[in-house]
Amino acid sequence: MAKQNSGSNTIQNPEQDTPLARYNKAPTLTTSDIQNEVLQTDNELPSFWKNVFIPTWDNKPPEVPALLTLSGTPVLTYQNLLSIIALPGVGKSSIGESIAANILNPEADTLGFAVSLLCGRLLFVDNERTTTDVWNSFYRMCKRASIAPGTIIDRVMLVGLRSISRAAERKKIIEQMLQENQYGIVIIDGAGDLVEDVNDLAQAIECRIWLREMTVKHQVSIITTLHPNPGINASKPRGHLGSEVCRESECVLLAKKVDEATRIITTEFENGKNRNSAPITSAYRWCDDAGMFITTDASAVAGTGATRKNNSQAKLELLALKVLAPPKALCYSDLCKAITETGGYAAQTAKTKVKEMKSAGLIDVHPDGFYRQAA
């Protein structure tokens, strides 16, 4: 409906003279139009313009299924990063061997992992183990996949880089292999060996950037393994490198020992996540008859479900006892500091632990402002 403008005899139609109307009347620019316009304004821009993405209605990327699932749940998608945190002896090498074996034989028991047929080839880089250990890993991978000795293996490349002493040289070799062959997934067992010092923030950031660059430049998805911090907080990745790599990852899994034979692998821990899918917990156990780890029912494993919740409560009680053993009393800031030093937690996490202890009735704050063990 036409409306008379106050103080003027001009009649305006809001449908014809509004910012939205003017926007809708503007000529539609395609990605090519924008690109050409920008290229004409800066002669140096073409060198990296091809890596700049401007979404429009006509350039939606194709839907790509997950390249890797765990018990049916996606944990790694195209050009993304998956990190697995594990202490030595948990079987993280067996996890890598299982993922590789699934490419060779999708019907094999591969600890719940399944690789998409879109993956093509897989590169498995071992930075930590001796040549004998790497060969044994190759043998176990083939045994798991029921591959007969002497069979040509052309879809999986397993390489050991322990003899390459410098991190920069290892990265050069990895990149050279990616340039020479097309892979869908790259497993890097031992991300800490891609830097000289895992506690150097500059090196950690550079490594994170390098990993992202590899996913884009060579169109691969990357799986890395990380060592956790020693001590009570054994689920937190070690050093600045661990923090940076996990920040880049779409999924962070923790593999941990339940008992001498059984392990679980899960996103359900303090630093876990699965950004593009649901939380997941799976389990595997050692089988003497098979001579390897095999898949087992996660719901029947201690440390999952209600039992896992009870274990978390027990850990919280132990932490409260360590930092506030009677008759000790601490102010809020000193309590947070004690939690950080005792448990290896970040400052913000320590504050959360104080709230959890109060909610659980483990500690009380007294009128003098000091925290003490609950009576």
Instruction: Specify the pLDDT at position 23.
Output: 47
| Predicted TM-score of the model (pTM) | 0.70
Instruction: Specify the pLDDT at position 232.
Output: 59
Task: Please check the confidence at residue 343 and state whether its pLDDT lies above 90.
Answer: no
Round to whole Å and give the CA distance between 292 and 140: 8
Please provide the average confidence, as pLDDT, over all residues in the chain: 85
- Which of 1-15, 71-85, 337-351 is modeled with the greatest confidence? 71-85
Q: Which parts of 163-304 fold into alpha helices (H)?
A: 167-180, 201-217, 239-248
Instruction: Specify the pLDDT at position 346.
Output: 80
Domain ranges in the chain? 3-49, 68-301, 307-373
Comparing CA positions, the residue from 19, 47, 49 lying closest to residue 32 is: 49
Peptide bond into 74 cis (omega under 30): no
306 confidence band (pLDDT: 50, 70, 90)? very low
168 confidence band (pLDDT: 50, 70, 90)? very high
Task: Please check the confidence at residue 43 and state whether its pLDDT lies above 60.
Answer: no
Lowest mean pLDDT among 10-24, 167-181, 216-230, 340-354: 10-24
Q: CATH number of the domain at 307-373, out of 1.10.10.10, 3.90.700.10, 1.10.260.40, 1.10.3720.10?
A: 1.10.10.10
Average the pLDDT over 188-202 and give the result: 95
Q: Is residue 53 left, alpha or beta, with left meaning phi > 0 and alpha meaning psi from -120 to 50?
A: beta
Instruction: Specify the pLDDT at position 12.
Output: 47
Which CATH fold would you assign to the domain 68-301?
Rossmann fold (3.40.50)
List C-alpha distances in Å: 137 to 91, 92, 96, 124.
12, 11, 9, 11
Instruction: Specify the pLDDT at position 107.
Output: 94
Round to whole Å and give the CA distance between 94 and 88: 12
Task: Please check the confidence at residue 241 and state whether its pLDDT lies above 50.
Answer: yes
Query: Residue 238: which residues within 8 A CB-CB, separation 6 or more?
Result: 192, 198, 226, 227, 228, 229
Comparing CA positions, the residue from 282, 281, 286, 280 lying closest to residue 262 is: 286
Instruction: Specify the pLDDT at position 4.
Output: 44
Instruction: Specify the pLDDT at position 21.
Output: 53
* Beta partners for residue 124, in sequence order: 158, 187
